[in-house]
Structure 1
Amino acid sequence: MLMLNGSVFMPSVLKLVGIPGLESVQCWIGIPFCVMYIIAVIGNSLILVIIKFEKGLHIPMYIFLAMLAATDIALSTCILPKMLGIFWFHSPEISFDGCLLQMWLIHSLQATESGILLAMALDRYVAICNPLRHATILSQQLLTHIGVAVTLRAAILVSPSILLIKCHLKLYRTTVVSHSYCEHMAIVKLATEDIRINKIYGLFVAFTILGFDIVFITLSYFQIFTTVFQLPQKEARWKAFNTCIAHICVFLQFYLLAFFSFFTHRFGSHIPPYVHILLSNLYLLVPPFLNPIVYGVKTKQIREHVLKMLFAKRSLGH
């Protein structure tokens, strides 16, 4: 590692602190984080298995749910093992390229999840506002195109931020990252060069993806609610609304956590650093943890298949 006037030129290794100010209790914080991760992996894997083997669930709503479950597993897995290594095994080192890879995966998967939530809103919009054409509009080919599009959109838009760090930022005042994972601004702020272009592009990506998705999800649900309230029968209104409840819960917890974390990080200069870090950690861990619980509780088909699997195992045990 070459040192120039107290700065480090292109460091090969970075050191993640974990949660600054809470180092003495990080081992305890790791316990609920680990529990959340285990539940997230088991719950989302269970959803994937149920949807894969139950042919009656091979419809757009559940295909998008399977995409969401796979994204949640990948998102939580690319952050938690390394975080627990810091908390429990005092292993803070990560290679610079490995850090950039983790950063790209985290932000790409976040953007992919946002795109899938938009696709799920589109599915509910067509199912409620144009039910007779639902199967025609949301064909298997279109579902494949949507899955590829949201993944490519995330990967392509996030990649330049990684290239800007790799190619534009050469000198770093320290190799110690005051964070528990490789977050974009936490790495950028280590550099001694002008980082305005990195900040601007990061904001551009966030508002391009999250802003676009939130606007169109909101418009979709505005139209859905308008259609639902015009239905003549109360039972029909409740049935139509009930199919959207799980998605609304997932949508709210994902974007509320995202914006709460974003605004406290950008404008909460008086808030202690450990609060920022905990919020950003929860933003990444809570959605994968809660999504299978929400869909397991609120979706009758998923709930029935889970109970069927549990009772089948119990009967085999006897």
Structure 2
Amino acid sequence: MAGIGANPLDAQASPEKPQASGTQTLMRGLALLECVAAGIGDVKGIAARLGTPRSTTHRMLNSLTQDGYLHHVPYKGYLLGPKLIALGMRALEQRPLVAIARPHIEELARQTGDTVHLGVVEGAEVFYLDKIPNTRGLEMRSRIGLRMPLASTGLGKALLLGLPRERWSELYEHALRLTAAAPERPPLAPWPEFESRLAAYVDRGWSFDLEENEIGIRCVGAPIRDVRNQVVAAISVASAVPYMPDERMEELGPVVRAVADAISKDLGWKRDERASGHR
């Protein structure tokens, strides 16, 4: 019973405190998982990123490891655990775009022998939803879950074809800043040249990445549209320069666009024969 003179509002407010505390703990745990996903796998580094004492960080890591959300490798650190892998696969399965596009991009990869990607816009970046590896034995840094600047990738440029032109310079500047901060990244073309190329991509319905994202790798991308004729995703074919001379890229453009159109049709899109480049 509340004491004489006690404020009854205090008694009503008290049940909310555990909830607020629980929410804070949950968000801290999620932030910890994001640290590990970003490659920070040691207690010291995670504690520094989260701003939590090492003892608290260590307890959280132990709990998440015991529950299967993390995996600990002695002397190496923490990795994402089997439960997160399973949840990630379930999340992909629940996104119909991935399921609809998968047979199309598998066939495209089989026909070309090259790596095929599927991605969507997330802010100023492209988020890689799916990847079919090439059969040439080539390695590239792309992977499911990766985010890269829209303006520096073939996949991203294909997505730009569905965005207002007023946004192109803003997204170009975003990619330019990231390029400046990472000297190992290839430089982008000057803005007038970049804008001119992108305008040409709009007209024909596919885009090129001419080693602007990764040295030695070229891509051909095309946008995917939905029933509203809105660009909702894109696909790209990527390979090393020796397999991607200018002539082959020009030949692949209509092929990649045709596959993107087939996926679009499965999403309810209908071609407007009066429009050029899907505009």
TM range (shorter): under 0.3
Counting helix residues as a fraction of each chain, which structure ranks higher? 1
Please give the TM-score of this superposition, normalised by the length of structure 1.
0.21
Greater relative contact order (Cα < 8 A, sep 6+): 1
The structure with the greater share of residues assigned to strand is: 2
Q: TM-score, normalised by structure 2?
A: 0.23
